Amino acid sequence: MEALKEKWTISRIILYLTIALITFLIFYPFMYCIAYSLSGSKEVMTRNVTFLPIGFTIENYLRVFKQNHLVSSLVISVLRTLGGIIGTLIVTGLAAYAMSKRTLPGRRIISFILIIPMYITGGLIPSYVLMYKLHLVNNFWVFILPNVFWAFNMLLMRTYFEGIPESLLESAKLDGAGEIKILLRIILPLSMPIIAVIAMYSGVWQWNAWFDSMLYITSADLKPLQAILQEMIKASSTSMMQMAQGGGKAAAQGSTEAVRMATLVFTTLPIVCIYPFFQKYFVQGIMIGAVKA
């Protein structure tokens, strides 16, 4: 018994050490970016920055906040993220609920049609022509309407809905509940884990998206935060190269790297702060969806 107890203790220590190592490897890049962004240009060029900033300064963040369209782009990013989450949950939830009905006529054919875009895209030029014909070019709704439905999210939510006992739904129907009432009063309250997962997926994608703004948006007032920061990094690189030609090559390169790290921290921090509130549902939804799939 003592030998068994000692063996269990050793295995637990090894397990905890392994988890600690994995956690460190995951968090170290972000810690490195924070330290890098708070370090001075000369110190950055020495490559001695590890966990703590050297030559502490917030100049890199001030350069980020001095951008002309930063506030409007931040508002656009927040609005497109919230709008994308709401639109995705409504459209995906309704589609998943309908597709979870085994008595739905043409269920397999509809599923096949919905899955096709996961593997075959329309291409950039046809997509642009379509957005132009729909008057979505240089329009805020181009960020939301084309992205409210994803087949993968629908399949994941449909699988979760199918796991809800049919007897529960039949009991509700016997009590006079219609499809809308069943969806709002029974299905959705029991599906909070998967709803949180879909919301997290959609929110992270919408917050990090920038390529669609390059294709469909030319007005600076409609560009999201990611696009503005990317342009800022390019402009910073150009100005730093001009400074480098004047003899300040090392400091210029260091400043550019520090600004890039500051922009990375600035764009990542909101998602990192929000995630702990969704962690419980996120983990549950992933586990349940994986088992049921």
156 in a structural domain: yes
CATH number of the CATH domain containing 105:
1.10.3720.10
Domain boundaries, position 128: 61-292
Task: Tell me if 77 is assigned to some domain.
Answer: yes
Mean pLDDT across the chain: 81
**What's the domain count of the chain?**
1
Query: Confidence band (pLDDT; 50, 70, 90) for 96?
Result: very high
Is 16 within a domain?
no
55 falls within a domain? no
Decide which of 257 and 105 is more confident. Answer: 105
Q: Sort residue 55 into left (φ over 0), alpha (ψ -120 to 50) or beta.
A: left
Are 262 and 63 spatial neighbours (Cβ–Cβ below 8 Å)? Answer: yes
212 within domain boundaries: yes
Q: Is residue 8 part of a domain?
A: no
pLDDT at 7: 57
pLDDT tens digit sequence for 178-197: 888 888 888 988 888 888 88
Question: Is residue 30 a part of any domain in this protein?
Answer: no
Q: How many CB atoms lie within 10 A of CB 187?
A: 21
Determine the pLDDT at residue 206. 92
Is pLDDT at 277 greater than 70 in this prediction? yes
Q: Does the pLDDT value for residue 51 go beyond 80?
A: no
Q: Is the pLDDT of residue 1 over 50?
A: no
pLDDT of 192-247, one tens digit each? 888 888 998 899 899 988 888 888 998 888 999 888 877 776 766 555 555 555 54
Q: Under DSSP, is residue 47 helix (H, G, I), strand (E, B) or coil?
A: coil
Q: Residue holding tokens 């919408």?
A: 206
Supply the pLDDT for residue 244: 52
Query: Could you tell me which residues come within 8 angstroms of residue 256 by beta carbon, excluding any fewer than 6 positions away?
Result: 233, 236, 237, 240
d(Cα 122, Cα 118) in Å, to the nearest integer?
11
Higher pLDDT, 36 or 46: 36
What is the C-alpha to C-alpha distance for residues 91 and 73, in angstroms, rounded to an integer? Answer: 26
Long-range CB contacts (within 8 A, 24+) of 42-46: 42/250, 42/251, 42/254, 43/254, 44/254, 44/255, 44/257, 44/258, 45/250, 45/251, 45/253, 45/254
pTM: 0.78
The verdict on residue 1 lying in a domain is no
